């Protein structure tokens, strides 16, 4: 591991979580000398990755981060294949649709298809959800190698419904492997439930997941909605070259 790169990424991650921080706050948060953090931030500022808040000593993420994010979204094949199927899934179910990828212990949303009812909805691309507390995350965790899946600890609580017991999570992941569908009931956000299925590529690895976002008042969804999620995931996987759906865990 290259230490300077690791520290720069840690600075960006800290600013992502806290939005705006002073050099002193960053140094304390990262347990690094203030002089070291100053040098890293100065370099990131020169590349537009970090900017100083006007009239303040605080720093925040810069516009270059957005440019990199857009490049990633434009080049990831999963997103391009998922978009038409997400639109179809939203029409069939009446619910919003999310497509996400796994990043360490979290899910990052790479595409969001709003509910087709015409209501005003916030864009969700880029939001991060703990993997164990989301249907999307469970759909992918279920098909990780057993040693990788067991390393996702500790399981932090988001609501009173969040699964924090590793044994209970393991049982749910087994069910996902059996039927290809992961469920979430107000585990990440009160009032929000979800159904998701994994997406595989030619290597038969779970490269992402697609699912519907269901208000708690409409939970549980009917079998037709669950089948529609399965069908969308299977179709995207087929376009990505997957040989089997769901794939076998290695």
The CATH code belonging to domain 3-67 is 1.10.10.10
Residues 6+ apart with CB under 8 A from 10: 30
Which contacts qualify for 113-122: CB closer than 8 Å, 24 or more apart? 113/83, 113/86, 113/87, 113/89, 114/90, 115/90, 116/90, 116/91, 121/96
Query: Which CATH class, in words, describes the domain spanning 76-239?
Result: alpha beta
CA–CA separation, 96 and 88 (whole Å): 11
Residue 76 predicted with pLDDT over 90: no
Residues 6+ apart with CB under 8 A from 78: 99, 101, 110, 199, 201, 207, 208, 236, 240
**Nearest 5 degrees, angle CA 104-CA 185-CA 91?**
90
User: For 127-186, what is each residue's pLDDT tens digit?
Assistant: 889 999 999 999 999 998 764 555 556 888 999 999 999 999 999 999 999 999 999 999
pLDDT at 81 (0 to 100): 94
In this prediction, residue 235 has a pLDDT band, given cuts at 50, 70 and 90, of very high
- Say how far apart CA 6 and CA 212 lie, in whole Å: 35
Please write the tens of the pLDDT for every residue from 13-59: 888 866 788 999 999 999 999 999 999 999 999 988 899 988 889 99
Tens digits of residue pLDDT in 19-30? 788 999 999 999
- According to the model, what pLDDT value does residue 154 have? 80
Q: What is the pLDDT, as a whole number, of residue 62? A: 86
- Strand-pairing partners, residue 112, are 98
Domain locations along the chain? 3-67, 76-239
Would you say residue 119 has pLDDT above 60? yes
CA distance 182 to 160: 19
Q: What is the pLDDT of residue 135?
A: 98
Look at residue 86 and tell me whether its pLDDT is greater than 80.
yes
pTM score of the predicted model: 0.78
Burial class (CB in 10 A: 0-12, 13-18, 19+), 26: buried
Q: Is 191 left (phi over 0), alpha (psi -120 to 50) or beta?
A: left
Report whether 199 contacts 240 (CB < 8 A). yes
**Phi, psi dihedral angles at 234 (to 5 degrees):** -65, -40
Q: Residue 71: what pLDDT?
A: 62
Same topology between domain 3-67 and domain 76-239: no
Q: Are 82 and 211 contacting, i.e. CB atoms less than 8 angstroms apart? A: no
68's CB contacts (< 8 A; 6+ apart) are none
Longest dimension (CA), the chain: 59
N-terminal to C-terminal alpha carbon distance within the chain: 27
Tokens 């590793």 -> residue: 166
Structure tokens at 160: 């009173």
| Predicted local distance difference test score (pLDDT) of residue 95 | 97
Q: Which of 1, 44, 63, 65 is nearest to 36 (CA)?
A: 44
Q: Which of 125, 136, 222 is nearest to 184 (CA)?
A: 136
User: Residue 199's pLDDT band (boundaries 50, 70, 90)?
Assistant: very high
Residue 63's Cβ-count burial label (10 Å; 0-12, 13-18, 19+) is: exposed
Q: How confident is the model at residue 75 (pLDDT cuts 50, 70, 90)?
A: low
């Amino acid at each position: 591991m290259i230490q300077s790169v690791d520290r720069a990424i840690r600075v960006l991650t800290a600013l992502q979580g806290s939005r705006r921080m002073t050099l002193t706050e960053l140094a304390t948060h990262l347990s690094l000398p203030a002089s070291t953090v100053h040098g890293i931030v100065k370099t990131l500022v020169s590349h537009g990755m970090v900017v100083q808040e006007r009239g303040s000593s605080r720093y925040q993420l810069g516009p270059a981060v957005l440019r990199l994010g857009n490049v990633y979204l434009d080049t990831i094949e999963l997103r391009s294949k998922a978009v038409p199927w997400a639109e179809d899934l939203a029409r069939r179910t009446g619910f919003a649709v999310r497509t996400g990828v796994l990043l360490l212990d979290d899910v990052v949303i790479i595409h969001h298809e709003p509910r087709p009812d015409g209501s005003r909805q916030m864009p969700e691309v880029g939001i991060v959800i703990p993997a164990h507390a989301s249907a999307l995350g469970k759909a992918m965790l279920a098909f990780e190698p057993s040693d990788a899946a067991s390393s996702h600890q500790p399981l932090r609580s988001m609501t009173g419904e969040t699964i924090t017991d590793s044994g209970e999570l393991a049982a749910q992941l087994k069910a996902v492997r059996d039927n290809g569908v992961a469920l979430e009931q107000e585990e990440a956000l009160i009032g929000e439930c979800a159904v998701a299925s994994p997406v595989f590529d030619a290597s038969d690895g779970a490269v992402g997941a697609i699912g519907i976002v269901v208000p708690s008042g409409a939970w549980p969804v009917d079998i037709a909605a669950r089948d529609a999620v399965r069908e969308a995931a299977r179709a995207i996987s087929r376009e990505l070259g997957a040989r089997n759906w769901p794939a076998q865990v290695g």
